[in-house]
Amino acid sequence: MKQMSRLLSTSLACLFFLLSCDKNGTGNDSSMKPLAYADSVLYRTAGSGDVFAKPLNEQAGSYTVFPEDGLDIDASSGAINVSRSESGLRYRVTYHAPSGQTSSTSVVISGVNYPDKYYRLSANDSLCRPVYNADAARALPAGSFDDGGTANSGGCSIRTSNGIINLAQSIRNGLFGAVPQNDVRKEVEINYRIADKSNSASNSIKVKLYYYETEADVPEDLKQTIRDHEAQLLATFASVPPANDATGRVARLQKPRPPCVVIIAH
């Protein structure tokens, strides 16, 4: 009986110790609140200074983001500087509590992106369309593209009403020279405004355009960059942040911008 009493006392002492550890944040922290922002789509605003978005729940810990490049976030508070972040992209933000628990959510910095893609002119695939708010199914509101006309004047044919790039016309305009050669690369900056919750705030995106005669001419490093961009896009839709796979490819530190538009002539 005494031995059983001593065993019970030891068990209760261990349980008390474990509960004390939880309160100090070394075990499961039931007080941790899930990470959330006021909206899943964050807008920069015209006529104001930097726009910030803070987590709804302030709590001790740290914050990480995937992809690592593009989102301007304070690692200790989770505050996002929307004005200084790459727009048109989806990011996954993860809160790390002192207890070791995590909570994740995704946010989109409002704007347009151009998909990394191979465009085959021989198949009449020559229109590069912008994606609004990281959702290809979402309609693009009215807007103004190529403000200042720098892209069109340089040969890149962009419709000023909707941002569609006509790749075949860009070639005819001499974007890649009078006679395009393999592996000619041009980076174009497109300034634009969209009539949405940003109140037509000034925005911009840089797009990298490549020209090749055939797909076999595309170098392996460019193919890998496109695969990395695609992996990042899929990872931001996942319920948890991606971990390194056996090769380290998925979580490779790869800037999501500029998007790569690869033109294949034949």
SS3 21: helix
The pLDDT assigned to 55 comes to 98
Unique residue bearing structure tokens 């996954």: 92
The pLDDT assigned to 6 comes to 44
Q: What is the mean pLDDT of residues 43-53?
A: 89
Residues 6 or more apart in contact with residue 248 via CB below 8 angstroms: none
Regarding whether 219 and 182 lie in a shared domain, the answer is: yes
The string of pLDDT tens digits covering residues 199-221 is 999 999 999 999 999 999 999 99
Contacts 24+ apart (CB under 8 A), 12-15: none
Regarding whether 178 and 130 lie in a shared domain, the answer is: yes
Q: Which of 109, 124, 155 is the last residue of a domain?
A: 109
- Please name every residue paired with 145 in a beta bridge, in sequence order, or none if there are none: 192
Whether this prediction's pTM lies above 0.75 is answered by yes
pLDDT-derived band at 261, boundaries 50, 70, 90: very high
- Please name every residue paired with 212 in a beta bridge, in sequence order, or none if there are none: 264
- Domain of 77 in residue numbering reads as 41-109
What's the rounded Cα separation, in Å, for the pair 33 and 40? 17
Regarding whether 147 and 70 lie in a shared domain, the answer is: no
Best CA proximity match to 88, nearest among 44, 146, 35: 44
Range from 7-11, 78-82, 198-202, 259-263 carrying the lowest mean pLDDT: 7-11
Regarding whether 97 and 200 lie in a shared domain, the answer is: no
Regarding whether 259 and 200 lie in a shared domain, the answer is: yes
The number of residues making up the chain comes to: 266
Contact predicate 21/89, CB 8 Å: no
Regarding whether 121 and 103 lie in a shared domain, the answer is: no
Q: Which of 109, 129, 155 is the last residue of a domain?
A: 109
pLDDT reading at 16 higher than 70: no
- Helix ranges (DSSP H) in 74-153: 150-153
Q: What is the mean pLDDT of residues 158-186?
A: 98
Q: Which amino acid is at 23?
A: K
Regarding whether 63 and 182 lie in a shared domain, the answer is: no
Regarding whether 167 and 226 lie in a shared domain, the answer is: yes
* Number of domains the chain is built from: 2
- The CA-to-CA distance between both ends of the chain, in Å, stands at 88
pLDDT-derived band at 161, boundaries 50, 70, 90: very high
What's the rounded Cα separation, in Å, for the pair 18 and 204? 53
**Residue 212 falls inside a structural domain:** yes
Regarding whether 171 and 149 lie in a shared domain, the answer is: yes
What's the rounded Cα separation, in Å, for the pair 153 and 142? 22
What's the rounded Cα separation, in Å, for the pair 175 and 156? 6
Q: Which of 55, 88, 109 is the last residue of a domain?
A: 109
